[in-house]
Amino acid sequence: MTDPASGITMEELSLAARNHGMPLEALRYDVTPVGLHYLLIHFDIPAADETSWRLEVGGRVERPLSLTMEELRRRQVVTAPVTLECAGNGRARLDPRPVSQPWLEEAVGTAEWTGTPLAPLLEEAGAGPGAVEVAFAGADRGVQGGLEHDYERSLPLAEAMRSEVLLAWGVNGQPLPPQHGYPLRLVVPGWYGMTSVKWLRRITLLTEPFEGYQQTGSYLLHTSEDDPGTPVTRIQPRSLLRPPGLPEFESRHRLLLPGRHRLSGRAWSGLAPVDRVEVSTDGGGSWAPARLEPQPSPWAWAGWSFDWDAAPGSYELCSRATDAAGNTQPAKAAWNTGGYANNALHRVAVTVRDPAS
Ligand SMILES: Nc1nc2c(c(=O)[nH]1)N[C@H]1C(S)=C(S)[C@@H](COP(=O)(O)O)O[C@H]1N2
Ligand SMILES: [Mo]
């Protein structure tokens, strides 16, 4: 078997060095500290100044709006914990490996986002006749798929009107840092991260589905470019296991002493609340139920734990989440050209041994 990670290119390395993941030991925090939250930035972080920033709301609306940050802050303010996960999480585990940001399984984080709900603002602007979608444009611009464009994504109007969708200017009680979208970003709970447009400066109501590159040229599930595919939308159920014991520097292989160990991790799904988590110590051959903590919100991950009596030997630890709609994690995910939505089991290799032996 060829190692799917073999032959990582300089281009993949340059993406990986810009866009960091969440170190898996940070699974210990309910709320991911800002600097440990994963990052994904397609182009460059744009220069931005909140004193001159304006959010324009236009297109098929009754009353176009142009709002300053001060005007936005005077609106209803809410803070909510939300788990964001990149749609490309798990991409580097696929074989053949789609060439893009080569995530393993760490493109996830949970933050407390502060901002104002989008729905009342859209009501104020008033959707005009025939409006079906809402497009969100960031201030960042670049070239992808041979096309120069602003980073822009859309949502069906009904999804944009969900009460939990926020325009956020704060994260974990701090102003948004440049890399997370300062001064303003969209946060769409339950949807993969590409939906939550950063450096948000334009909202456009459309009478036709949005056809920009980030909507129709990317984020499609298909096995060949000829197949039109289906759009990537909500986060598939997933769980991660905080690697226990001591890491080996290069391989990240884990070493544990024999005895009782409390394994723990997090589980989430954008489709339904998390219903259960199971743990395997034999690579998914057999499973036992983990203890599941309550989710702070259906849109934020749940903690789980499992007490393991470890005897000397080699093990492959796995966790498996199932949501209340019955969606679960596969042992191996179906391949697709973009390497999206790979929610296959997280596998952690450990060796249990006595230091004396
Ligand atoms: N304007 C803009 N918004 C963006 C992106 C981007 O490149 N530009 N990346 C998207 C992707 S693919 C993801 S996964 C999330 C990552 O958000 P984070 O970096 O705050 O974790 O932002 C999304 N919003
Ligand atoms: Mo992403």
Tell me how far the alpha carbon of residue 77 lies from the centroid of ligand 2, in angstroms: 26
The answer to whether the CB of 340 is under 6 A from ligand 1 is: no
Q: Of 225, 232, 254, whose CA–CA distance to 353 is shortest?
A: 254
Q: For the chain, first and last CA: distance in Å?
A: 32
Looking at residue 345, its amino acid is: L
Q: What is the pLDDT of residue 5?
A: 62
Is 193 touching ligand 1 by the criterion CB < 6 Å? yes
DSSP, res 191: B
The pTM for the full model equals 0.97
Bond from prior residue into 96 cis (ω within 30 degrees of 0) = yes
The answer, yes or no, to whether any atom of ligand 1 lies below 6 A from the CB of 113, is: no
CB within 8 Å of 7: residues ≥ 6 apart: none
Which alpha helices (H) appear in 63-183, and where do they start and end? 69-73, 118-125, 157-160
User: Measured from the CA of 179, which atom of ligand 1 is nearest?
Assistant: 19
Give the number of the atom of ligand 1 that is nearest the alpha carbon of residue 109.
21
Burial class of 115 by CB neighbour count within 10 A (0 to 12, 13 to 18, 19+): buried
From the CA of 313, how far away is ligand 2's center (Å)?
38
Single-letter amino acid code for the residue at 130: G
Tell how far the Cα of 14 is from the centroid of ligand 1, in angstroms: 17
Most ligand 1 atoms within 8 A of CB, residue of 19, 36, 198, 199 to mutate: 198
Q: How many CB atoms lie within 10 A of CB 19?
A: 19
Q: Is 140 in the pocket of ligand 1 (CB under 6 A)?
A: yes
Among all bound ligands, the one having the nearest atom to the CA of 40 is: 1
Q: Is 196 touching ligand 1 by the criterion CB < 6 Å?
A: yes
| Protein residue with least CA distance to atom 23, ligand 1 | 194
Query: What does the alpha-carbon distance between residue 275 and residue 263 come to, in Å, rounded to a whole number?
Result: 19
Neighbours of 205 (CB within 10 A): 25
Report pLDDT for 172.
98
- For residue 37, give the ligand 1 atom closest to its CA: 21
Per the listing, tokens 């057999």 go with 286
- By most ligand atoms within 8 Å of CB, the mutation choice from 194, 215, 342 for ligand 1 is 194
> What pLDDT score was predicted for residue 1?
39
Look at ligand 1, atom 2, and give the residue with the nearest C-alpha.
198
Q: From first to last of its 357 residues, what are the pLDDT tens digits of the chain?
A: 346 667 899 999 999 999 999 999 999 999 999 999 999 999 999 999 999 999 999 999 999 999 999 999 999 999 999 999 999 999 999 999 999 999 999 999 999 999 999 999 999 999 999 999 999 999 999 999 999 999 999 999 999 999 999 999 999 999 999 999 999 999 999 999 999 999 999 999 999 999 999 999 999 999 998 898 999 999 999 999 999 999 999 999 999 999 999 999 999 999 999 999 999 999 999 999 999 999 999 999 999 999 999 999 999 999 999 999 999 999 999 999 999 999 999 999 999 999 876
Which ligand lies nearest the alpha carbon of 193? 1
The CA 128 to ligand 2 mean position distance, Å, reads 31
The ligand that comes nearest to the alpha carbon of residue 153 is 1
